[in-house]
Structure 1
Amino acid sequence: MPVQGLNPIVLCLLAMWRILTPVLSHPKFNHCHQVHENAVCNNARLSSVPEGLPQTLEELHLNYNQIKTLHDKSLLPYPSLITLTLACNDLEKVQSKVFEDSKLLENLNFANNNIYIGYEETSVALRKLPGLRFLDLSENKLNDEMAFTLLHNLSTLEYLNLSGNLLQRLDETSFRDLHNLKELDLQRNIMFEIDSAFGGNPKLQRLNLAFNILPCLTDFHMTQLVVLNASYNYIEWFISRQDLNDTFKLETLDLSNNRLLFFPFLPSRSKLQNLYLSNNLLRFYEHYADNNTLQNSSTSVEFYNLKKHIKNVTVEIWDESLHGDISSLDTLDLRRNQVEYFPNGFIQKMPLLSRLRMSMNCLETLNLTSEQFFGSLYELDISNNRLNQISVDDESLTTLANLTYFNLSHNDLNELPVGLFSSLPRIHSVDLSYNSIGICQPDERNINASSSSSCLQWSNIDSLRQLYLKGCNLETVPNSAFTGLSLTHLELSDNPGIDVQNSLQCLSRTLQHLGLGNTQIQDIDLSRFQTLKSLNLSKNSLSHLPHSIHDTDLKVLDIRDNRLSTIPSDDAHSLASKLHLIFLTGNTFNCCQTQWFWTFEEARTMNMVGKSDIICEHQSMLHRVQDSHSLDCSDAEESIVWYILLLVPICLFLSGISIVVFLTLKPKILQISIKKKYLRPTPY
């Protein structure tokens, strides 16, 4: 009977065992998130490929796990696999037979592992993938020999990433088996030589050589290449082969952050659209041709071993043909170089140029008439140069009809052509910051638009939306200065003493950003500025916020470097309900009045930039506001009461002493006063 009584319990336990057994046998399956035929098992602390996933699986992501060896037969349950990623696993070895049944695998990611340890066996495994197209071996500590071994006979490969390894020197054997390669990433290695490394890759279109130590790129003849990134190297010379009749397909060439001394010797036939040359030592040398002071100096350069069939080539350093074909150029970036002028006809060679970036060079003059810019130009940045003169005529202003962005900030300009901006029908943004150019009074008019003036009129420029006049030594702004404008951005900071209250009211319906930092402003009426989103009031010695701020819909407020000691509770709640960013550093707040800080801290949509650097003062010591809750502010409140209690008896005591001393020195006064009050004659 007892045995029979246990039968139901045993049956229940057996049923539970059958349910739990498959779950317990494959606990790692629960760490994978499945969507259709994809399984994502990242950050699951797996030490091997999980089992129990569908056999029809096409993508398996195992990134950020603890798989050190990819064992044979670990992929056997997934014959339909197309994509496998094992990035960041400390993977050391892939066994040779692991891919025997993965005939459909095309994409393989082994990034950020230790493949260098078992690279030989891994190479055998890779050769058994007949359709491999994408391979990522970045950051695996691979040297030249290891990379060559791993890539042997991978003829189907189209994309290869070898960035972040230890490659030093490439030659014609490095990628000779990769006949279908279209994109190659070699950035962040330590390569100093790439001699004929890409001769066996006729389909290569995108090549990234950034962040290496290449000293030069000579004999460039990769006509099929579309994008070449060789930025952040030590390149002094870029020389393309000039004797080829084929048109180069190169569209983007990035040689920024190198040591270029000369403008690159571009192909004589090309489709180049984007040329990035910023942060080099580049300049033009055309004026040396007629410079008598350099008679004993060489005006030519010899290039040795450019091609195998000639010994050297001698060229004149100002030869215009060296610039190559730049007729298709759309963007030319020459920022942070040493350019003093443009060679004759240089700008005319670029009829499609739309962006010219020339900031941080050595230009002293700009003659828009002689340079003959084309109508395609819509961005012109000549900021941070030495410009002291700009020359134009009516025809050149007409040519610049499509110019939208014009930056002349940080130059030495004291005068500008009167119609320089008002004659540009599509001008959208103008930056004249840190030049000594004023704003004209209404009666200061010049008939000739090309004549120069120390002030400009900005009214009635229909297309203008952004105007930056920061640090222009402005003192007086006429009330009608911005009449007829629809500005969204106006920057007037760093103009101490400027009075703009009346001139801004005409912008109340359109203005979104207003900069008034370091203007000595103490109050401003913003109640009508319903579209204002960003306000800069930094460096103004403000002791309180303008009340009209609460009538706006501000999202960004900069009140750094003022004299704020606290922010009233009502103001704090009002700002916290609408602001997204607030800048408060540089003020010394009262540590015992920091409720505003916690109001801002609790606001979910608000961010106090640099909140750990916001300071307050307590008992002549500075603290971080976010630590002010640990300070004892009760002493500060009670000390006033104690001071009063101590001072009252002291004052009474001193007063009594003074009276006694006075009466001691003048006793007759007391006697006389007593006689007058009490000793009166008695009537009979």
Structure 2
Amino acid sequence: MPLRGFTPLLLWILPVWRVLTPVNAHPPLSRCHLMQNTAVCNDRRLSSVPADLSQNIEELQLHQNHITTLTDDSLRRYPALRTLSLACNELTTIQSAAFRDSHVLTSLNFANNSLSVGFHESGAALNELRTLQSLDLSENKLDEEMVGVLLGNLTSVERLNLSGNVIQRLDEDIFRRLHRLTELDLQRNFLFEIDNAFHGNHKLQRLNLAFNSLPCLTDFHLTQLQVLNASNNLIDWFISRQDVNETFQLETLDLSHNNLLFFPFLPTRSHLQNLYLSDNRLSFYEHLDNSTNPNITTTVEFYNLKNYAANVTAQLWQEDLHGDVSSLLILDLRGNHVTYFPQGFIQKMPLLSRLKMSVNCLEKLNFTSERFSGSLYELDVSRNELNHVQASDDDLRTLGNLTYFNLSQNNLSFLPTRLFPSLLNLRSVDLSYNDIDVCVEEPVNNFSRCVDWKHVRNLKQLYLKSCNIKNIPNSAFSGMSLTHLELSENPGLNVEQSLQTLWTTLQHLGLGNTKIQNFDFSEFQSLKSLNISSNSLSQFPTSLRQIGLKSLDLRDNVLSTIPADQAGALATTLTTVYLTGNSFNCCQTEWFRTFEKQETLNIADKSDIKCVDFFRRTHFVERFDPSLCFVQTEPLFWYIVLFVPVCVSFVGISVILLLTVKPKVLENSIKKKCLKPTPY
């Protein structure tokens, strides 16, 4: 009986108790995800290493927590640990005995912490490790002194990441004990000097020095190095030691985004395959003649090259200064000042497969004198000053492997008649922004202002943007199986009949700014990408709903709306659509809501699409409130209906009042206008 009296009270207290009971009074949820011998404890707001995990774990991930100190007993419970990651914490100190029981630890990741604070004690802890192979100390605000302390006697380390720190100078002792080092990342520091820093690292194969402030790299003699990335520095000279008899193992050299004025002095013997020199100021100077201008010299002298060689006087440009490029597969010279190739320069690269020469100053391309090898697969000479291309039938037969050929944005108005038909493996050609037409009849001369594409049977991608083409013959692409055709920026182009032979193969079609209006796309059943921007289209092409487009560009037309049924059909297939620059009606934007609801559809310029309301005010479609349309349009009719009778009534009352007050006004007015004196 007494318990019955407490029952109502308990029922009232129970909900309140549930609300007021703190979360930590409940059994704790698991803070880590365990997978076999790996514990993943990332982003768990931990302030210390968990002590309740299995003793057999071999990998422990603690990314994005709040751990500030790795204490002496943090890892004592996990003697089998091989990999530990504490990236993106608040780590300042590793206590000296933290790794005393970690006898098999091979990988440590301390990226994005603050180990610069307690680097002395942390260095003592790291020196206990004898099996460590991979160490990541990136983004810890470390300078060269701190790095020297932290590395100490880590003789077992093979992979070291020091990127994103504040290192300015490397001396010869900093990596001296790292005899097994094979990979070293020093990018995004403030390096301006390297003083024999890698002299003792005979196993170093990959070195990243990108995004620093190095002024030059002279006396390069790391014969065992395979990959060197020195891009995005201030390098104006790259000089390898010329007196080394050993073959350099270098395969990839990246010197892009520097200040090179001259082609690098490469090793005399090497296995170099990839050479990246884009975005420098590089040019060739063999054509300079000091007999015509005595102030210009074609020689350069180098003094005291690290005391390893005598002074060097070099003639610019002799072939031997280029070094060994016989193994080169890729040469990237984009964004330089190259006006021509020195005699025999290309011929020294018998294996060259990709030559990228865009954004230079080439005035002519002579396949006969350059003697490109049969290995050439890609040739990009776009955005130069080419006005002449020369090639014999034998030269073109040699280039049977050429697949991608980019000649866009030059000054070409004539081309060899047999240039493209002779390249049997050609798959992609870009002639955009040249004055080259499509032939109506087959050319009879060796050079022509047009190209007969019917004989380029294997071509798949053809780009003829802004070539001043007005008309394309109906048979221009007969027998071809093009998948990509770009004809944009050719205003007034008549093309519909000539595309009938490509109905089944064409996947991308560019017709932007061609002034098309009533184009029927219904037969292009393979079309996936269509550009019809800048065509002053006022009506949405109804034929587009019948094909399964993935990408559609409708920018810069005069569309006021997209019919709801067509928008619904497009939304199910489209993945990307461009719509800015149209005069959409703010009160007819159901199509936008349809597109917006489709999760698989990306409206690329969604936030910039504008519309116009009834009062010609401009709004962003994404933020426009459709309910405003009812306020603006429906009451307007009734305002007019009510306003007209009021105006008529006001005028009538005014006339009556006027005649009442001045009854002779009307009579005098009639006499003045109608009663005139009779002339005699």
Maintained 8 Å contact 2:290/2:298: no
Distance 1:655 1:65, change over 3 A: same
Could you tell me whether the CA contact under 8 Å between 1:168 and 1:193 is conserved in 2? yes
Secondary structure of 2:580's match?
Answer: coil
Q: Determine the C-alpha separation between the residues in 2 that align with 1:653 and 1:114.
A: 84
Q: Is this contact kept in 1: 2:586–2:626, CA < 8 A?
A: no
Structure 2: stretches of 5+ with no match in the other structure: 3-22, 660-665, 672-680
Q: Answer yes or no: is the 8 Å Cα contact 1:26–1:52 preserved in 2.
A: no
State the partner residue of 1:626: 622
Shift of 1:295: 2.3
Aligned to 1:557: 552
What is the rounded CA distance, in whole Å, between the counterparts of 1:444 and 1:131 in structure 2?
73
Which residue matches 2:73?
Answer: 73
Structure 1 residue matching 2:287: 3-state secondary structure: helix
Q: Contact conserved, 1:29 with 1:53, CA < 8 A, in 2? A: no
Q: Matches of 1:488 and 1:294 in 2, distance apart? A: 54
Cα distance in 1, alignment partners of residues 193 and 617 from structure 2: 60
CA distance in 2, matches of 1:352, 1:275: 13
Q: 1:597-676 counterparts in 2 under 5 A?
A: 597-618=592-613, 619-629=615-625, 632-634=628-630, 635-647=632-644
Q: Distance in 2 between matches of 1:59 and 1:50?
A: 13
| 1:14 paired residue number | none
* 2:159 partner amino acid: Y
Q: In structure 1, what is the equivalent of residue 525 of structure 2?
A: 530
What CA distance in whole angstroms lies between the structure 1 residues aligned with 2:203 and 2:443?
A: 62
2:70, 2:411 → 1: CA distance? 65
Decide whether the 8 Å contact of 2:243 with 2:309 is kept in 1: no
- Paired AA for residue 59 in structure 1: E
Counterpart of 2:560, as a letter, is: S
- Tell me if the contact between 1:88 and 1:113 (Cα under 8 Å) persists in the aligned partners: yes
Which deviations, in whole Å up to 9, do the C-alpha atoms of 1:201-238 show, x marking residues without a partner?
00000000000000000000000000000000000000
Aligned to 1:508: 503
**Mapped contact 1:209–1:229 kept (Cα < 8 A):** yes
Change (3 A) 1:194 1:631: farther
Aligned equivalent of 1:286: 286
- Any idea what the Cα deviations from partners look like across 1:357-379, whole Å, max 9, x if unmatched? 00000000111111111100010
Distance 1:29 1:305, change over 3 A: farther
Higher mean displacement: 330-339 or 639-648: 639-648
**How far, CA to CA, are the matches of 1:365 and 1:26 in structure 2?**
79
Give, in angstroms, the shift of residue 345 of structure 1. 0.4
**3-state SS, counterpart of residue 396 of structure 2:** helix
Letter in 1 for 2:633: A
Aligned to 2:311: 312
Q: TM-score, normalised by structure 1?
A: 0.90
2:640 and 2:455 map into 1 onto residues whose CA distance is 65
- Structure 2 equivalent of residue 130 of structure 1: 130
Partner residue of 1:546?
541
CA distance in 1, matches of 2:479, 2:647: 70
The 8 Å contact of residues 594 and 628 in structure 1, kept in 2 or not, is answered as no
Within 1, Cα distance between the matches of 2:264 and 2:81?
A: 46
Residue 677 of structure 2 corresponds to which residue in structure 1? none
User: For the residues of structure 1 that align with 2:305 and 2:430, how far apart are their CA atoms?
Assistant: 45
- In structure 1, the partner of 2:513 is 518
Q: CA shift at 1:258, angstroms? A: 0.1
Over 3 Å counting, the alpha-carbon distance change for 1:460 and 1:395 in structure 2 is: closer
Post-superposition offset of 1:298: 2.3
Q: One-letter code of the match for 1:636?
A: T
Output the CA distance in 1 between the equivalents of 2:435 and 2:199.
Answer: 56
Following the alignment from structure 2 to structure 1, what is the Cα–Cα distance between the partners of residues 291 and 26? 86
Secondary structure of the corresponding residue to residue 355 of structure 2: strand
Indicate conservation of the 8 Å contact 1:438/1:474, yes or no: yes
**Any idea what SS the aligned residue of 2:331 has?**
strand
**Which runs of structure 2 are paired with 1:451-530 in the superposition (5 Å)?**
451-530=446-525
Secondary structure of residue in 2 paired with 1:574? helix
- Is the Cα–Cα contact under 8 Å of residues 29 and 52 in structure 1 kept in the other structure? no
From 443, 446, 449, give the equivalent of 1:445. 443
The corresponding residue for 2:13 is none
The structure-2 alpha-carbon separation of the partners of 1:426 and 1:26, relative to structure 1 and needing over 3 Å to count, comes to: farther
Distance 2:426 2:204 in 1: 41
Q: Give the secondary structure class of the aligned counterpart of 1:366.
A: strand
- SS of residue in 1 equivalent to 2:639: helix
User: Post-superposition shift, 1:643?
Assistant: 2.2
What CA distance in whole angstroms lies between the structure 2 residues aligned with 1:69 and 1:457? 73
Superposed displacement of residue 309, structure 1: 4.5
Matched letter for residue 414 of structure 1: S
Note closer, same or farther for the CA distance 1:471–1:358 as it changes in structure 2 (3 Å cut). Answer: same
Match of 1:46? 46
Deviation at 1:638, TM superposition (A): 2.3
Matched ranges for 1:199-598 at <5 A: 199-288=199-288, 290=289, 292-310=291-309, 312-441=311-440, 443-446=441-444, 451-598=446-593
Is the counterpart of residue 114 in structure 1 residue 114 in structure 2?
A: yes
Deviation digits for residues 148-176 of structure 1 (CA, Å, limit 9, x no counterpart): 11011000000000000000000110100
Distance 2:250 2:634 in 1: 74
User: Offset of 1:654 from its aligned partner?
Assistant: 8.6
**Structure 1 residues 462 and 652: CA distance shift in structure 2, 3 A:** farther
User: Relative to structure 2, which stretch is displaced further, 238-247 or 638-647?
Assistant: 638-647
C-alpha root-mean-square deviation of aligned residues, in Å? 2.2
The size of the alignment, in residue pairs, is 638
Could you tell me the TM-score, scaled by structure 2's length?
0.91
Q: How does 1:25-174 map to 2 (within 5 A)?
A: 30-174=30-174
Deviations 1:239-273 (A, max 9, x none): 00011110000000000000000000000000000
Aligned CA distance change for structure 1 residues 489 and 291 (closer, same or farther; 3 Å): farther
C-alpha separation between the residues in 2 aligned to 1:48 and 1:453?
Answer: 76
SS in 1 for 2:625: helix
SS of corresponding position for 1:294: coil
CA distance in 2, matches of 1:269, 1:26: 71
- Once the 2 structures are TM-superposed, how far is the Cα of residue 637 of structure 1 from its aligned partner? 2.6
Q: Distance in 1 between matches of 2:468 and 2:637?
A: 48
Letter in 2 for 1:354: S
The 1-side partners of 2:556 and 2:608 are apart by 12
**Alpha-carbon separation, structure 2, partners of 1:279 and 1:596:** 45
d(CA) in 1 for partners of 2:245, 2:308:
18
Distance apart, 1:28 and its partner CA: 7.0
Partner of 2:15: none
Measured in 1, the distance between the counterparts of 2:309 and 2:578 equals 64
Contact preservation (8 Å) 1:460, 1:483? no
Offset of 1:641 from its aligned partner?
A: 3.7
Unaligned ranges ≥5, structure 1: 3-22, 667-684
Contact 2:82 2:104 in 1 (8 A): yes
CA contact (8 A) 2:144 2:170 kept: yes
Distance in 2 between the 1:75 and 1:408 partners? 62
Partner Cα distance (1:28, 1:76) in 2: 23
Shift of 1:328: 0.2
Query: Which residue of structure 2 aligns with residue 671 of structure 1?
Result: none
Deviations 1:161-202 (A, max 9, x none): 000000000011010010000000000000000110000100
Q: 1:395 to 1:184 in 2, by over 3 A?
A: same
Amino acid at match of 1:526: F
2:290–2:297 contact (8 Å) kept in structure 1: no
Deviation for aligned residue 1:563? 0.8
Q: What is the CA distance between 1:25 and its match in structure 2?
A: 10
Preserved CA contact (<8 Å) 2:575 2:601: yes
Task: Specify the SS of the correspondent of 1:484.
Answer: coil
